[in-house]
């Protein structure tokens, strides 16, 4: 059984068949899913889904794309949401310098505010870092008591070694099945097994051979098979290891 540690079932791509898709997951080998929020609305939806499906847990947070839209009082609302049962992390939060949909200084301010909230509530964080590796790592280092995972890890092997030394986890998506995934392959081959997690980032980043279609957690086994091949083990070993890693990280018994 697999743990999809990052999937967006609140996304409009699932509006037509969300319940049917989620209901099918246990039969497709998925035992646990974490649905992160990207703003207050999606965080609330993630929480609602976690209350309807016993294998779904929620994370709440404001994505860097939405950082500029945060207004006074939103952090208090986020604190209230994060205090609810079945919320296991703050996320996804971080920096995105690829799209730059919010000014970079605003992104950094909102990132720091949410890292401080995670420290206050003793919750782990789910990090979004796109083309912002140095600034993201510098902010992570400011919060020594916050533990977290870099979702859809895209950094270098050198940065991965720094993060693992800091006690952080790295998570990988269907992008590892793409032809240009050499850097991710290098990291997966090297990294300690107890810091590895897998995710689909559904409905995005669908693995080969289904690339171009809507993604869902049922394709997680394709990511595991790639990781297994890189590490010289079987997919079942990767499934068991990443399931335990995810449960430990999110505090799910």
Does 27 appear as a known binding residue?
A: no
Is 225 flagged in the annotation as binding? no
**Smallest Cα–Cα separation from 11: which of 180, 195, 215, 235?**
215
Report whether 133 belongs to an annotated binding site: no
Cα angle, residue 4 at apex, residues 140 and 125 outer, rounded to 5°: 20
CA angle 168, 215, 103 (to 5 degrees): 55
Distance CA 218, CA 180 (A): 23
Rounded distance, CA 169 to CA 191, Å? 10
CB contact at 8 A, 10 and 45: yes
Helix-helix angle 182-190:220-231, to 10 degrees: 70
Going by C-alpha positions, the residue among 82, 75, 72, 70 that lies closest to residue 46 is 82
* DSSP conformational letter for 152: T
Q: Sheet harboring 196-198: ordered strands across?
A: 2-4, 30-35, 56-60, 87-96, 125-130, 148-150, 169-172, 196-198
- Residue 6 known to bind ligand: yes
Query: Residue 190 has which token pair?
Result: 């090297």
- Ligand-binding site membership of 92 (annotated): yes
- 221 annotated binding-site participant: no
- List binding-site positions: 6, 8, 92, 128, 151, 201
- List binding-site positions for a divalent metal cation: 6, 8, 92, 128, 151, 201
């Amino acid at each position: 059984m697999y743990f999809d540690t990052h999937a967006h079932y609140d996304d409009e791509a699932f509006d037509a068949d969300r319940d049917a898709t989620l209901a099918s997951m246990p039969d497709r080998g998925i035992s646990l899913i974490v649905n992160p929020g990207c703003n207050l609305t999606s965080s609330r939806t993630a929480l609602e889904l976690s209350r309807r499906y016993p294998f779904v847990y929620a994370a709440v947070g404001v994505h860097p794309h939405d950082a500029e839209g945060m207004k006074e009082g939103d952090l208090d609302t986020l604190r209230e949401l994060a205090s609810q049962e079945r919320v296991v992390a703050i996320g996804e939060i971080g920096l995105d310098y690829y799209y730059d949909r919010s000014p970079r200084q605003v992104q950094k301010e909102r990132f720091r505010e949410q890292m401080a909230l995670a420290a206050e509530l003793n919750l782990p964080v789910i990090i979004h870092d796109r083309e912002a590796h140095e600034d993201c790592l510098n902010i992570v280092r400011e919060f020594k008591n916050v533990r977290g995972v870099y979702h859809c890890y895209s950094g270098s092997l050198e940065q991965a070694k720094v993060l693992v030394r800091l006690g952080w986890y790295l998570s990988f998506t269907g992008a590892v099945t793409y032809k240009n995934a050499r850097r991710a392959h290098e990291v997966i081959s090297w990294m300690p097994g107890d810091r590895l997690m897998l995710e689909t980032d559904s409905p995005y980043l669908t693995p080969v051979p289904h690339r171009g279609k809507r993604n869902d957690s049922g394709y997680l086994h394709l990511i595991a098979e790639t990781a297994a091949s890189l590490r010289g083990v079987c997919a079942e070993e990767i499934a068991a290891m990443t399931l335990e890693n995810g449960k430990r990280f999110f505090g799910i018994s």
